[in-house]
Chain A
Amino acid sequence: MNMIVCCKQVLDPEAAPATFKLDAANNRMVQPPEVKPVVNPYDEQAVEAALRIKDKDKAAHKVTIISLGNNLVRDVVKKPLSMGADELILLEDAAFEGGDSFSVASALAAAIKKVGAFDLIFCGRQESEWDDGQVGSGLAELLGIPSVTVAKKVEVLDGGKVKVERVIADGFQVLEVQGPALITVSNELGEARYATLKGIMAASKKQPVVWKPADIGVDAGKVGAAARKAKIVKLFQPVKEGKCDIVSADSPAEAAALLANKLREAKVI
């Protein structure tokens, strides 16, 4: 199986809310330099989904990672290689920056067409900056392939078919999909594997392939910020007006009882 996984380098979503600062001029948020970017956690789970298939026959299956952006941090974008992926392709250029789901998916589609034949594409269900959840399904539409979103389990069947468990509100659906297909992965899949020391050493020796817009046959004006369909009117951080009444007393048990009384006074209970 030839599997492609799309991975995005993002600001660390687990860092404290206070680390997120508004960069209004560029319509984005930034974090201070001491907070390192990471691979979007759902994309790591997408890598995990591909590697679980690869585990069954390492020689027969290949996992190619594609990341898009500019000034990508090599330690970060190589993480999927350290986890066990085979190859890394970077779409790295200023022209790729500032895109919306449409221009990003368009660039990925062009890159995937250049990569050639594939059996499965995995994406995280959404990335943690814009939380849009559109690139995966949109990419499948641009490539004209079927898609299943929010998967928690993926099993390869005979004849290029895949069995997927898709998370729904109070349970899951089991679908059978004809490949080539695109699957977006959710955290219900389970924890992504850690990079092993052996994996990190192997990854450090691998050089990513780097492509510019011209390499994937697209005009710089057809990707990134230049090709956005979603226009940002305003990006802002809402002011938190709330003030918490921290109930304290001589002992935690007393504070607890006081809290209950306050809720009764406020007619909450």
Chain B
Amino acid sequence: MADNKGILVVGEAAEGKLLPITAEILGAGRKLADELKEPLCCIIIGAGLGDTGKAAVAAGADKVFLADDAQLKDYENSTYMQVMEKAVAELAPKIIIMGQTANGRDLAPRLAFKLGVSAVMDCLELAIDGGKLQCTRPVYGGNAKAIFTSDDFPQLATLRVKAGTPLAPDAGRAGEVAAFAVALDASKIKAKVLETVKEEVAGVKIEDAAAVVGGGRGLGGPEPFTKELAELAKILKGAVGASRPPCDNKWVPDSIQIGLTGKIIAPELYIAIGISGSSQHMSGCSGAKCIVAINKDPEANIFKEARFGVVGDWKVVLPAFTAKVKELVS
């Protein structure tokens, strides 16, 4: 549509601070906006948004809209949809970008279908081609990649965590911050958040750690995660993660699942122990600078993805490896 102009990024904040995904999608959005020579706007929806508007300008936004309301404190789609519908109607963006987060993966499809378009989900790359958005994303569990575009506007995409590169924050950047008031229609709110339960593990999070030690089905049970893997992670000042089978078997909490539908990690070092290396798991860790694999199956797919590996029983290999690493780093 000729009337659609500019890019709208849907940012996320918590406890008065921008979440890292916001700077990532603003970084990606800035490149697209510069290429289209159109403005980059950002809307942040929540409660107690404090200085997040200024932070979003520093991260690349030309104009930031703050939808700050006690009723928006907890994400719920029939509430957030009302804000987004008003934002799209008033701002008429050409392209809308969200993060592929718990909120983004829930909100983007509903908004897209409401607008009579389809979103492109979990993108790795966004580009402009012929004035339109082109999105590259993994498909078939990561066994293939596809490039998508569409003929309808607005074009909607969600960007995978850590796929966008934040700009260096520039407190001197010029940009506007404005309140975005929405009169919420209570009759349209169909769900109520009763409570939010946090299940955080102690120590550094796997998505923030510089080194991650991951365990898979090959470990056979929960003990190695809290013992041998935890020991190695401690020496490397890192965190313990897992592929999906240990989570499904309840050996470890779901929050440390690394994979396509789990956490996306991109540490300096990822050590995969007893992990076969399915495409779905690799989707979560392929951003690691160096992947090391320990597995007793020489045909395991992980050896096609890793930079270094040892074929052997982790029960023998890991203790010897940990002892040597401890010696080298001390």
Q: Which residues of A contact B (CB under 8 A)?
A: 11, 13-14, 16-17, 20, 22, 29, 100-102, 105, 125-126, 128-134, 136-138, 140-142, 145-150, 152, 163, 166-178, 181, 186-188, 191, 229-238, 240, 242, 244-248, 252-257, 259-264, 266, 268-269
Contacts and interface: CB of A to CB of B under 8 A. Distances in A.
A167 B78 CA distance: 18
B183 interface: no
A150 B109 CA distance: 14
Contacts of A178: 190-191
Interface stretch (B22-30, B34-42, B45-53, B298-306): B298-306
B199 interface: yes
A171 B293 CA distance: 29
A29 B199 contact: no
A230 to B, nearest CB: 5
A252 B105 CA distance: 44
B105 A231 contact: no
Nearest to A22: B144
A175 B191 contact: yes
Interface string B279-310: 11000000001101100001001011111111
28 contacts: A13-B140, A20-B144, A126-B261, A131-B260, A133-B105, A134-B109, A138-B109, A145-B190, A146-B190, A169-B255, A172-B199, A173-B74, A173-B196, A174-B194, A174-B196, A176-B191, A177-B190, A229-B117, A231-B150, A236-B144, A237-B143, A244-B293, A244-B304, A247-B310, A252-B310, A268-B290, A269-B325, A269-B328
Q: Which of A175, A232, A257, A260 gathers the greatest number of chain B CB atoms within 10 Å? A: A260
Q: What 7 pairs between A and B have smallest CB-CB spacing?
A: A146-B190, A260-B324, A256-B320, A252-B312, A137-B109, A253-B320, A256-B321
Nearest to A138: B113
Contacts of B68: none
A119 B106 CA distance: 21
Contacts of A134: 108-109, 112-113, 118-119, 121
B324 A29 contact: no
A17 B197 contact: no
Q: State the majority secondary structure of interface residues on B.
A: mixed
A169 B147 CA distance: 27
Interface of B: 74-78, 101-102, 105-106, 108-110, 112-114, 117-122, 134, 137-141, 143-152, 190-200, 205, 236, 244, 247-248, 254-255, 260-261, 268-269, 278-280, 289-290, 292-293, 298, 301, 303-313, 316-321, 323-325, 328-329
B82 to A, nearest CB: 13
Contacts of B119: 134
Nearest to A134: B109
A177 to B, nearest CB: 4
A30 to B, nearest CB: 10
Given A132-B121, A174-B195, A259-B292, 17 more contacts: A20-B140, A20-B144, A125-B261, A138-B110, A141-B110, A146-B77, A167-B102, A174-B196, A229-B118, A235-B139, A235-B145, A236-B145, A237-B145, A244-B309, A247-B309, A260-B324, A261-B324
Nearest to A130: B139
Nearest to A14: B278
B312 A177 contact: no
A138 B102 CA distance: 16
Nearest to A19: B143
Contacts of A148: 191
B190 A240 contact: no
A235 B109 contact: no
Contact of B143 (A29, A147, A181): A29
Contacts of A20: 140, 143-144
Contact of B140 (A11, A101, A105, A230): A11
Given A131-B138, A268-B290, A176 B194 contact: yes
Contacts of B268: 268
A178 B260 CA distance: 31
A150 B102 CA distance: 8
Contacts of B292: 259, 263, 268
B316 to A, nearest CB: 4
Q: B148, B269, B289, B305 — which one has the most chain A CB atoms within 10 A of its CB? A: B148
Nearest to A164: B191
A231 B149 contact: yes
Nearest to A103: B118
A253 B317 CA distance: 5
Contacts of A173: 74-75, 193, 195-197
